[in-house]
Chains A and B, each alone.
Chain A
Amino acid sequence: MRKELNAAAVRKFAANNIVPIIFIVLCAVCIPIAGYSGTYLVDQIITRIVRNSFLVLSLLIPIMAGMGLNFGMTLGAMAGQIGIIFITAWNVVSIPGLLLAAIIATPIAVLLGWFCGKMLNMARGREMITSYMISFFMNGVYQLVVLYGMGPVIPLSSDQVILPRGYGVRNTIDLLNVRKSIDNFWSIKLFADENGAGGITIPFLTIILIALLCIVIIWFRKTKIGQDMRAVGQDMEVAREAGIKVERTRILAIVISTVFAAYGMIIYLSNMGTLNTYNSHSQIGMFSIAALLVGGASVSKASIKNVFLGIILFHLMFILTPQAGKNLIGQAQIGEFFRVFVSYGVITLALVLYEIRTRREKAESARNLALSQEATA
């Protein structure tokens, strides 16, 4: 009896955590094939955590409010990029530059988030596909502004940023001014050799920032607005009956998420050191969502734990696969290829699993009814 119970518990655990388990197995297989050293992997993982976690954390609040995965975080990323373009053109360097970028990005992100939230309130129950489409639509607006607006309409005259023809932003911008500013402000290196190469770099300031955001999110859950969001997320009608302003709460969730995504994008770009003007934002949305799902989150439930586990597993995969591919079949390309199809695959799988799980719960309630009938009979 006890054994049966345990087996059932294990099966349930496996069914609920199938995505992370698949990734753990894949990584475990790839580590020996790729043949990287332990310190290299740890260093790389820390870099990825530092680079991505702020962005992934920004997804948590809309999930709490029952709005699913916020594909509209791309809008926040766009706002962050606009901030970065400005400070690069104005040549404001280092941490003050990043702060200025954040100040520029905030009102843009609030505005975009408010717009997105309004739209999602009109498309209740189909938030994810709507926010996905909004991100495509806003991408067009963003391109219009950046490609034609910057220069003639919005005066910017930096050779570094503007194309030689006099308007429009270059395809890629080198962010020398702010490259690793936060990371290098206060960091230490462990296990490095005599020349200072290799080893593990720990950028303290960035980690503090991320920890701060985690604390904010934990605190947020305990506030009145956090409680309201959880209520709205579970049942909008019940929440409305209790007098909670449902629409406002939902808009707020998206605005907060968009603003955090903007800050996350600024941290990400500063760490990367280059801005891919026309691609970075759409890629980052996809990868952030995929990472969160790999960490075991679902459409309706996600925690800080999922964020970090997800980033570690998802990016470990990408560090390993090019080398593993090269060692196996002499093709490093396979890693990049993997990256894209795995992201889409994971998102699809998570959406399907969510639906299956919901249905299974319904079936369970039917089974309970049958059991209770047997008990009374």
Chain B
Amino acid sequence: MSEMTKPLLEMQSVSKEYNGNPVLKDVSFTLGQGEVLGLVGENGAGKSTLMNILFGMDVIHQTGGYGGKVLIDGNEVKFASPLDALKAGIGMVHQEFSLLPGFTAAENILLNREPQNRSVLSLVFGDRANTIDRKKLQKEAIDAITKLGVELDPDMMVSEMPVGHKQFTEISREISKSSIRLLVLDEPTAVLTEKEAEMLLKAIRNLASQGISVIFITHRLQEILDVCNKVVVMRDGRIINELDAGKTSIQEMARLMVGREVSTHPKDDDRAGRTISDRIVLSVKDLWVDMPGETVKDVNLEVRDGEILGIGGLAGQGKLGIPNGIMGLFPAGGSVMLNGSPIPLNNPRACLDSSLAFVSEDRRGVGLLLDESLEWNIAFPAMQIQEKFLRMYLGGLIKWRDQNAIKTVTDKYIEQLQIKCTSSKQKAKELSGGNQQKICLAKAFALEPKLLFVSEPTRGIDIGAKSLVLKALREYNRELGVTIVMISSELEELRQICDRIAIITDGSVSGILPASTPSEDFGMLMVGKTRKEA
């Protein structure tokens, strides 16, 4: 590349805020033709927002646009929609596949861009009556596959493909667009086997050598070292550092990724004052869970009585699958023992009966009865499962709700958790996200469980509410000795309240460390550098 040519893509101090919360601050970088740029960062670091801006996604326009400039070939662009971005030669391969299962690879690659033959009937019915030129379709698909340099049978049905081939099909689709100049790959290797990932990396090098630039988002740092020219590390909406991939190391990147050093550990003394017995409350062996996007394979965990165990890891690695699988919300297998007696899997009722409770990450879907009052929301599970808040008549034949008891318990939790509402009769959907989360907690507390799973309790709620929720959990653990397993994508949050933290990578436990361990070590576990606890 000569010094004269303008870089293919340049971002100049791009910034973005959602409802006053800055998510991107002063992001600038350049990408030349045929270069591979690695983009790394924890969840919520701003990677997706940055890509959304690049593609002109609706979500950006609807929330007031962005600041700064995006330049292509030195000219400023503002894409109104992803279609405009496509026209400018930018393609994206998403984490979730957008493929049609009943179509072959070739049909998917050229979806809605099929080569056509005109027929007599086209004159009558217009272009959509053109027949599809199968031979040419085949040829163009093979061309794209060859350009990518992978092995892929164009006639194979997507539903029968291994995941890797699906990924290749997706990428081939982008490449088959003749104008393609910049390809964004969002965690493309997350679902691949080692061998498939290797093939993909080779393909990326192949594309770069043909002059196509690539932005490669991944958490597998070794891959960055293998294929990228340079690395941009993001954290909290900023670019922390731009590194030359040839001169950096995994350690350096991992440190930059997670490394907001918390000077003093806030709750150390609190933790020190407690004794956690060595008794195992919950032991999980060989657990697998088929939860779409959060597959769990071969998880072994032991939870001690009275502790708060954190489960962390990057999105899509399977940390959410663990509680959802144990509680029977998704098909699961393996063995789970609570206090030495087995818990049947795939049976939500049995879990609840054995004093497990679960606060789901899907607050609005699983967690709440949105159209019902707070009283109902809090009392309903306890009423249904443990027959609390009921008055029995005729020896239990007739059960009547005990409205007073329900009101008392609801008011108790409203006060205890500082839930902001007009009254205990208010509808759940009228509360803010943070207060809804507190209702979910109250609901689980009302069950008086021995062990509580809390999944992403602070997702989508503001900072003030976050600390209240965390405080409520800690107090609940301290005062009643309830064992808590908390799943969260935010490592710092886990480090604040947990005793030990397990990191899930690729569906299984990559390590369990005490919460006081430096976050750098957790970062290494997240990117799957070391397997299993030493």
Contacts and interface: CB of A to CB of B under 8 A. Distances in A.
A59 to B, nearest CB: 19
A2 interface: no
A231 B111 contact: yes
A228 B331 contact: no
Interface in A218-259: 219, 222-225, 227-228, 230-231, 234-235, 237-239, 241-244
Contact of A372 (B114, B129, B286, B297): B297
Interface in B289-329: 290, 295, 297-298
Given A369-B290, A372-B297, A373-B288, A238 B98 contact: yes
A50 B358 CA distance: 61
B331 A366 contact: yes
Interface stretch (B7-15, B99-107, B211-219): B99-107
B129 A224 contact: yes
Contact of A243 (B112, B127, B290, B298): B112
A230 B288 contact: no
Interface in A179-229: 219, 222-225, 227-228
A237 B101 CA distance: 13
A313 B513 CA distance: 67
Interface string B189-205: 00000000000000000
Contact of B286 (A363, A365, A373): A373
A222 B132 CA distance: 6
A155 to B, nearest CB: 34
B83 interface: yes
B297 A219 contact: no
Contact of A230 (B102, B131, B331, B332): B102
Nearest to B330: A366
Contacts of B131: 219, 222-224
A358 interface: no
Which interface residue of A219, A373, A377 has the most chain B CB atoms within 10 A?
A: A373
Given A224-B130, A225-B129, A370-B333, A376 B288 contact: no
B95 interface: no
B333 A231 contact: no
A173 to B, nearest CB: 34
Interface string A343-377: 00000000000000000001101100110110011
Contacts of A241: 98
B131 to A, nearest CB: 5
Contacts of A237: 98
B334 to A, nearest CB: 8
A357 to B, nearest CB: 14
B112 A228 contact: yes
- Which of A242, A362, A363 counts the most B-chain CB atoms under 10 A from its CB? A242
Interface string B256-295: 0000000000000000000000000000001010100001
Contacts of B331: 362-363, 366
Contacts of A243: 83, 112
B247 interface: no
A228 B100 CA distance: 11
B83 A370 contact: no
Nearest to B102: A234
B116 interface: yes
Contacts of A224: 114, 116, 127-132
B100 A238 contact: yes
Nearest to B332: A366
Contacts of B290: 365-366, 369
Interface residues of B, number: 28
Interface string B103-147: 100010001111010000000000111111000000000000000
Contact of B297 (A222, A228, A244, A369): A369
- Most chain B CB within 10 A, of A231, A362, A363, A377, is at A231
A377 B298 contact: yes
- Chain A interface size, as a band, is 20 to 34
Given A223-B129, A224-B114, A234 B103 contact: yes
A370 to B, nearest CB: 5
Contacts of A219: 131
A369 B288 contact: yes
Nearest to B111: A242
Contacts of B98: 235, 237-238, 241
A198 B132 CA distance: 48
A231 B128 CA distance: 14
Contact of A223 (B99, B103, B130, B288): B130
Contacts of A222: 131-132
B87 to A, nearest CB: 12
Which of B116, B128, B288, B297 counts the most chain A CB atoms within 10 A?
B128
B132 A370 contact: no
A371 to B, nearest CB: 10
B119 to A, nearest CB: 8
Nearest to A362: B331
B289 to A, nearest CB: 8
B195 to A, nearest CB: 14
Nearest to B128: A225
A223 B132 contact: yes
B99 A238 contact: yes
Given A222-B132, A362-B331, A373-B286, A227 B298 contact: no
Interface in A102-145: none
Contact of B132 (A227, A363, A373): A227
A333 B98 CA distance: 55
A223 B297 contact: no
B359 to A, nearest CB: 25
A361 B100 CA distance: 16
Contacts of B130: 223-224
Contacts of B132: 222-224, 227
A363 B128 CA distance: 39
B114 A227 contact: yes
Nearest to A363: B331
Contacts of A239: 100, 111-112
Contact of A242 (B112, B127, B332): B112
A272 to B, nearest CB: 32
B85 to A, nearest CB: 13
The 6 A-B pairs of least Cβ separation, nearest first, read A366-B331, A225-B128, A242-B112, A366-B290, A234-B100, A242-B111
Interface of B: 83, 98-103, 107, 111-114, 116, 127-132, 286, 288, 290, 295, 297-298, 331-333
30 contacts: A219-B131, A224-B116, A224-B127, A224-B128, A224-B132, A225-B128, A225-B129, A227-B107, A227-B114, A230-B100, A230-B103, A231-B111, A234-B100, A234-B102, A235-B98, A238-B111, A241-B98, A243-B83, A243-B112, A244-B111, A244-B112, A362-B331, A363-B331, A365-B290, A366-B290, A369-B288, A369-B295, A373-B286, A373-B297, A376-B297
Given A227-B132, A235-B100, 15 more contacts: A223-B132, A224-B128, A224-B129, A225-B128, A239-B112, A241-B98, A242-B111, A242-B112, A363-B331, A366-B290, A366-B333, A370-B288, A370-B333, A373-B298, A376-B297
